Structure 1
């Protein structure tokens, strides 16, 4: 199940002018291909072109093609659709964009202005007849219709951080889907539509109509499942599904039906709030700690590595300092091109460090032996010249991981993440309260910043160790506020601050000092007073921040209590609401989604403190993986907890008319999944998935030979981002 290979096949098709022949291509206004010849057997990969993309398409294509490869494909200029662009006479343009009116207006304007010789328009989703008419009318009215060389659609509405990972690039999806208040219903409907469209695009690329399993009769996952099933059951989807098989095969993603998936796959949709603790808990694996401590792209494929040892760096400089100073280098984390990352990303951090040291030493030993052999009498210089470049490239990648691991370890030590990880695995109320008050788990010293402590409190609040009473929640919130006033001094630049903000802070302090000198005050006394004032202001700000984050603790506990006790009621028509983007949604839609998760009790979520490297024991398997295993008919993973979570799995088959009729009546089948057990499964987290959870799901797939398991989510998120969303849901506002 290689999502990236399938999507890449469609993107290549677009970049090759959708495989136009020589005569058609010349008529469309493109320059002759160097060397001429027929396009048969040698597609238009080398024809010169300008690549124009909207924001979403730029994110998608950047993961599929490095800049150097785009140049080899003839796309020497990569431009943003909404930017001011200069004319490039005599050269065609390949547009890749969402089918929106704004995009159509811009394309029509480009054609009228004659910026390029021809416009090959590639939409990331199938346009409606109304959208096609709008583009045609806009081009005619602008006077540029003659330059429209073609209109095509390709399934490009998703991103692929890895071959078997999927991301829709939807930040703050949890806060959006569970919001209540004015405008919430419309936002929920729009988000559900985007989720359904993105997943539908992914399975269009794969070439299969999946069976669908969702958890519960209510909630975002159930609503998305219904909307997605309607998309997949539509006749238009089947038609495009068949037409795209030739493109998949031509792009190297061949196999039965154009994709080497084998039998029909199962899609398992899981709500983020079904196990909020796993999303909030502090991680222990290499990939998850990189996402936790470094500045990482939204899909986890690029990281900014601080130059901690740059000349002039302070000895106590942290990753946050380096990021604020701009002293970073961007590093790609692509398992397809980085063999060590592919091997070590899911390992416990300590194991990854040991593996990196061993592999680096092996490479250095091989390098020394190769150089010695080349310089010795009778040595093979040509053999050394052939083997040395690849060896040096491997060495450079391993040394880059040395720098990354050093930066991660610095943040782990500064925030006490290892202590937090251990405490979240077996929380006790006394130890949690000590950490929240800034005393440390064993009274030896404070650990974690406010965000870390709020996450710990949330994990405890939904664990079996908590009694869940209002008094206990008040106690947790009060302890968090008490500890805020005794936080250790932050790094010189707070994480996420900019150099401009840091400079502004420095100039403010300098101005205060100069003013006191002019007034004749003692400089040391003035500095002490300024420091005291700054400390008081900082403490006051920290207390306010603690109160804001405490809203997350209260919201998580309230949601857990309401979810566990909510009676099963008829499902609101979420599908209709989403189709209209909430225009006719019932007013209780937001509140219904917020209280949605039926049958999830404390015994389930208490297992959510990430246990990623110990899948052999049934109790440590991530709940999302358990849902997927139960839906797929996997007996190796074991049964679901006794909370009744297994019985709440809802199955929908878009290819079965009776199943779709049950969906329309609001009573889809809860029987076993049709066609199971499944060897191809995709687990999709509605509301954001963490690196640790993706690792857990991948490890489940590796437990049985022949199983293809993919994972995805509305975004690749972290515990820090999730606690911010929960604080906003609880009324604490955004940071």
Structure 2
């Protein structure tokens, strides 16, 4: 798109400079709407855009000055309003030739209306081309994407939602998934449970692919067709609520984290003076950052330990190179001047790595502060025990253990306690009286007064308690019924407080389903789920397929309608291996607080 939709050299990637004279580094202006800015921002930094020749990037609906003779690349949704703005830009002669790129398909009526506008203004020759890009999703890392459909769970589970609204919403999801399939360039086998939102989306998507000749002609899948599994959030409400224990998921849970950017406050002791609080912001690259890509799925204590070891190793290497360069070390007779020069040349890369590791030290410290202050390991342990059935034969012990933790005002915040209660409700079939008793204990613990005699809850805390109480009522009524029917030395001292977060991982619902479908296990979802193949008319009978040799699944995409989370994404990697990659997507990526808020909306 940034090369005016010309073919891209295979060697030309986002991290190398385009060849001289290429359309990729020709000066240009990039103009996008808010939705398309969200798509670009996790993929390309400002410096990478500049290497592509983008001198300015501006919002479509902002006031923009004329820059004649410079080509403009537009990237936006194909709406009547956006097309009208583009036509006005052409009429005013703001830029040189305009290259129009739409995130989804431009419908013919809108195209004809736009054509009339540019013909009437006599600026048709300024439109260099129009392209449907099929990019209606946000790619956060190589195997993680989101459709960014806000409030997606509350939207299709709410009582006041009309059939037309649900139909439109399911169409939007299908279009988003079609963009993912088109980007992958392979025609998948679609599997989903029968009925409800997954089947609606699956059938719409199946039809879209079947009616797209270019995609169907692509034979690159060969014998090994990719698998697309579409799931409903209602089948597992526990995973997005419960506390987690791995590095990436804890960043998302404990800190402010959106579109690979993490933000948190650091308070510095000023030696008797008023403490200074500074906000830190870091952009994370889950694919290119060596430490993050290696440890994002690892238990938090392992990430802490590795950060300390790596930082110590890099610092030692840096000190050694500097000492050699300064002549402070006795030279090794076997080494040469060339060896020293090579070592000195490697210093900038080493310093970059050190800087990256120090960023992670700061993030690990910020996460640790939250984990320790809120006693997160205790909530994690108890929720894991509930989710894995440790209390299945002892409901009284389950209630008493939950009561003990939520009634302690020093353990966790309002949200932590409410999350534990929701997990308790969903895993134990608790009686209404028991839930009321536990919910009352939460309220009493949080509405009490602290040592200073003041209420423990600030305004935000009271709002969260109110939202959480609504969420409990909602979970216990309609939603609960659906779910059950679908059945560095700085951190080392604190690390012992989270050692209980090691070795507690178990396969979540989505992981079990994907594994059963990939391995074609009889008597599981492989027998019950719909099997749709865009290359075949009608539904495919899985029982008949069992009489044939099906090819093993090498690529799988799991997609959740109603919101997903990092814990679910990382858990799916448990069944990925050298022969099988698993990508994960959802209508939106949510942290536990955001999902709890949507549950609260259903109860209001």
For residue 347 of structure 1, the aligned residue among 298, 322, 346 is 298
Q: Which residue of 1 aligns with 2:314?
A: 363
Q: What pairs up with 1:417-428 in 2 under 5 angstroms?
A: 417-427=376-386, 428=398
Task: Supply the distance in 2 between the matched residues of 1:286 and 1:488 (Cα, whole angstroms).
Answer: 32
Matched, 1:19 2:1: no
Q: Which residue of 1 aligns with 2:420?
A: 456
* 8 Å contact from structure 1 (residues 371, 384) kept in 2: no
Q: Which residue of 1 aligns with 2:24?
A: 45
Matched, 1:56 2:35: yes
Larger deviation: 413-422 or 338-347? 413-422
Task: Supply the distance in 2 between the matched residues of 1:544 and 1:305 (Cα, whole angstroms).
Answer: 22
* 8 Å contact from structure 1 (residues 89, 115) kept in 2: yes
Q: Which residue of 1 aligns with 2:469?
A: 550
* 8 Å contact from structure 2 (residues 449, 455) kept in 1: no
Matched, 1:408 2:386: no
Q: Which residue of 2 aligns with 1:270?
A: 231
**What residue ranges of structure 2 are gaps of 5+ in the alignment?**
9-17, 387-397, 488-499
Task: Supply the distance in 1 between the matched residues of 2:445 and 2:526 (Cα, whole angstroms).
Answer: 40
Shift in Å at residue 196 of structure 1?
Answer: 0.8
Shift in Å at residue 40 of structure 1?
Answer: 11
For residue 131 of structure 2, the aligned residue among 129, 141, 152 is 152
* 8 Å contact from structure 2 (residues 418, 468) kept in 1: yes
Deviations 1:466-502 (A, max 9, x none): 343222232233222222312759xxxxxxxxxxxxx
* 8 Å contact from structure 2 (residues 560, 585) kept in 1: yes
For residue 475 of structure 1, the aligned residue among 429, 434, 437 is 437
SS at match of 2:237: helix
Shift in Å at residue 423 of structure 1?
Answer: 1.2
SS at match of 2:231: strand
* 8 Å contact from structure 1 (residues 632, 676) kept in 2: no
Task: Supply the distance in 2 between the matched residues of 1:453 and 1:639 (Cα, whole angstroms).
Answer: 38
Give the aligned CA root-mean-square deviation in angstroms: 3.1
Task: Supply the distance in 2 between the matched residues of 1:476 and 1:407 (Cα, whole angstroms).
Answer: 31
Deviations 1:39-96 (A, max 9, x none): 9996311211111011111111222221111111111000011111000011110101
Matched, 1:447 2:408: no
Shift in Å at residue 434 of structure 1?
Answer: 2.6
Matched, 1:338 2:289: yes
Matched, 1:433 2:403: yes
> TM-score, normalised on structure 1?
0.71
* 8 Å contact from structure 1 (residues 50, 91) kept in 2: yes
Q: Which residue of 2 aligns with 1:725?
A: 598
Q: What pairs up with 1:316-327 in 2 under 5 angstroms?
A: 322=277, 327=278
Task: Supply the distance in 1 between the matched residues of 2:68 and 2:322 (Cα, whole angstroms).
Answer: 52
For residue 210 of structure 2, the aligned residue among 230, 233, 251 is 233
Shift in Å at residue 395 of structure 1?
Answer: 0.5
Taking structure 1 as reference, are residues 204 and 311 closer, same or farther at Cα in structure 2, changes over 3 Å only?
farther
Q: What pairs up with 1:131-210 in 2 under 5 angstroms?
A: 131-181=110-160, 183-210=161-188
Task: Supply the distance in 2 between the matched residues of 1:541 and 1:290 (Cα, whole angstroms).
Answer: 21
> TM-score, normalised on structure 2?
0.86
Taking structure 1 as reference, are residues 410 and 717 closer, same or farther at Cα in structure 2, changes over 3 Å only?
same
Q: Which residue of 1 aligns with 2:353?
A: 394
Task: Supply the distance in 1 between the matched residues of 2:166 and 2:271 (Cα, whole angstroms).
Answer: 50
* 8 Å contact from structure 1 (residues 611, 622) kept in 2: no
Task: Supply the distance in 1 between the matched residues of 2:280 and 2:536 (Cα, whole angstroms).
Answer: 52
Deviations 1:568-617 (A, max 9, x none): xxxxxxxxxxxxxxxxxxxxxxxxxxxxxx542xxxxxxxxx999666xx
Taking structure 1 as reference, are residues 356 and 537 closer, same or farther at Cα in structure 2, changes over 3 Å only?
closer
SS at match of 1:689: coil
Taking structure 1 as reference, are residues 708 and 220 closer, same or farther at Cα in structure 2, changes over 3 Å only?
same
Taking structure 1 as reference, are residues 536 and 421 closer, same or farther at Cα in structure 2, changes over 3 Å only?
closer
SS at match of 1:64: coil
* 8 Å contact from structure 1 (residues 612, 621) kept in 2: no
Task: Supply the distance in 1 between the matched residues of 2:119 and 2:501 (Cα, whole angstroms).
Answer: 60
* 8 Å contact from structure 1 (residues 611, 621) kept in 2: no
Shift in Å at residue 163 of structure 1?
Answer: 0.9
* 8 Å contact from structure 2 (residues 136, 147) kept in 1: yes
Q: What pairs up with 1:121-136 in 2 under 5 angstroms?
A: 121-136=100-115
Equivalenced residue count is 562
Q: What pairs up with 1:71-90 in 2 under 5 angstroms?
A: 71-90=50-69
Task: Supply the distance in 1 between the matched residues of 2:449 and 2:241 (Cα, whole angstroms).
Answer: 21
Task: Supply the distance in 2 between the matched residues of 1:123 and 1:539 (Cα, whole angstroms).
Answer: 45
Q: What pairs up with 1:374-389 in 2 under 5 angstroms?
A: 374-376=325-327, 379=337, 380-389=339-348
Shift in Å at residue 646 of structure 1?
Answer: 6.2
Taking structure 1 as reference, are residues 132 and 487 closer, same or farther at Cα in structure 2, changes over 3 Å only?
farther
Shift in Å at residue 453 of structure 1?
Answer: 1.1
Shift in Å at residue 290 of structure 1?
Answer: 0.5
Task: Supply the distance in 2 between the matched residues of 1:52 and 1:294 (Cα, whole angstroms).
Answer: 31
